[in-house]
Chain A
Amino acid sequence: MTAAWALFLRDFRLSLSAGGGFGLALGFFVLVAVLLPLGVGRDLVLLERLAPGLIWLGAALAALLSLDHLFQADLEDGSLDHFFFADAPLELLVLAKVAAHWLTTGLPLAVAAPVLALLLNLGTDQWQPLVISLLVGTPALSLIGAVAAALTAGLRRGGLLLSLLVLPLYVPILIFGAAAASKGPGAPELLLLGGLSLFALVMGILASAAALRLHVS
């Protein structure tokens, strides 16, 4: 446990330090939401109807941006080799890394969502379901993305391939996330979204660890 906690703290601090991913994904998310009304025009009703889906799409793209560094940095500087000799199973270490990734990308998005909802003319009564859907669904974005990040870690410029691998897998999350955001709490879509996150928690961790084993062998 100590090992996983140490890795979590290290990744968290690294992403806050210069060149880390924190802020980049959030900034991208905010810019998308600011630019959208400019593109869509002055139709406030249309904007309100589009808002949950657009915010969810922004969240998925923002998560993608920061994913390609998740394992690549550790593979390139040799840290990844050492993970195999650590005092914890590789799966637990992967979980620690993904948790740190979510805390620095997914969580800030959920927190910033009400501000963006304001820009997209979403009523205050809609904020709560939007934030809840993001809190429940963004872990799945990090977890599923981690599998592709692990698979493409050895590739230079693997970012584009990563997007091609991950975006199709984001489809169910996007559908249920946007639906849960526009309906109230307790909507079946929210429960399905939670189910997806739990599924991704198990499969994402196992598959990422298996992909990392391929890289060192």
Chain B
Amino acid sequence: MSLSLRSITCARGGRVLFRDLTAHVGRGEVCLVRGANGSGKSSLLRLVSGLLRPMAGQVVWDGADEEESVQSQLHFLGHLDALKPSMSVRETLSFWAQMMGGQKGVNAAIEAWHLGTLATLPCGVLSAGQRRRVALAQLSLTDRPLWLLDEPTGPLDQAGVDLVARAVKRHCGNGGTALIATHRDLDVGEAQVLDLGPGGREA
């Protein structure tokens, strides 16, 4: 699925974050969204996911399955991990697999994100980086063509960052599309960069 943003204006809390943003992310492409804190990176991802509506302009998902809602064809990973402290890693992942209509196994996801030794631990005792890896493992539960990742590498160590880069590369190699808001350098090969600038100051 490819993605077109047509002169989008986004306002949050009475403040215009960005104006007339136009971009195109094709099938198999990665787009890194950059910009200062408060420049609207998270809002852009929410706009693309359909959770938010733009003040002006249009988000177009080309090649999305018409029968299904756009929301069921994308992965949205916000900056919160969506974990319950009392549920174990394996329980969490099998819950999300069922929620997302997962075709792939929980075991494969645990393996892919190096969670094997943590699988039986409750999420409440995990470190921030480990929690993030559990949240990221959701990406491996179902094949969805569009990935929207908000600061996926936040608390991760270098090995974790490499895991994310590899997963994104594999996803795009299979014809997927990814939109990633990040401050870190992510080695995902060729990537388009969308810079939102120093942050909205207009009233």
Known contacts being A3-B98, A3-B99, A87-B101, is A81 close to B78, with CB within 8 Å? Answer: yes
Known contacts being A17-B86, A216-B51, A217-B51, is A81 close to B76, with CB within 8 Å? Answer: yes
Q: How distant is B69 from chain A, measured CB to nearest CB, in Å?
A: 9
User: Which DSSP category, helix, strand, loop or mixed, fits chain A's interface?
Assistant: helix
In the complex, A6 Cα to B98 Cα: how many Å?
6
In the complex, A158 Cα to B74 Cα: how many Å?
32
Q: Does A82 touch B at the CB level, under 8 Å?
A: yes
Contact residues in A for B49 (Cβ distance below 8 Å): 84-85
Known contacts being A77-B84, A78-B81, A217-B52, is A85 close to B76, with CB within 8 Å? Answer: yes
Q: Are A19's CB and B98's CB within 8 A? A: no
Contact with B along A7-40 (1 / 0, CB 8 A): 1001001100111000000000000000000000
Q: Does B34 touch A at the CB level, under 8 Å?
A: no
One of A5, A19, A82, A216 near B96 (C-beta < 8 A): A82
One of B53, B72, B84, B98 near A85 (C-beta < 8 A): B72
User: Which DSSP category, helix, strand, loop or mixed, fits chain B's interface?
Assistant: loop
Q: How distant is B150 from chain A, measured CB to nearest CB, in Å?
A: 10
One of A19, A77, A217 near B82 (C-beta < 8 A): A77
In the complex, A216 Cα to B46 Cα: how many Å?
9
In the complex, A13 Cα to B84 Cα: how many Å?
11
Contact residues in A for B188 (Cβ distance below 8 Å): none
In the complex, A217 Cα to B10 Cα: how many Å?
12
Contact residues in A for B83 (Cβ distance below 8 Å): 77
Number of interface residues of B (CB under 8 A): 27
In the complex, A48 Cα to B101 Cα: how many Å?
53
In the complex, A83 Cα to B99 Cα: how many Å?
8
Q: Are A2's CB and B82's CB within 8 A? A: no
Q: Does B100 touch A at the CB level, under 8 Å?
A: yes
Contact residues in B for A216 (Cβ distance below 8 Å): 46, 51
Contact residues in A for B74 (Cβ distance below 8 Å): 85
Q: Are A85's CB and B80's CB within 8 A? A: no
In the complex, A20 Cα to B82 Cα: how many Å?
17
Contact residues in B for A19 (Cβ distance below 8 Å): 86
Q: Does B192 touch A at the CB level, under 8 Å?
A: no
Contact with B along A42-63 (1 / 0, CB 8 A): 0000000000000000000000
8 cross-chain pairs, A with B, having the tightest CB-CB distances, nearest first: A78-B80, A87-B101, A6-B98, A78-B82, A79-B82, A86-B99, A17-B86, A3-B99
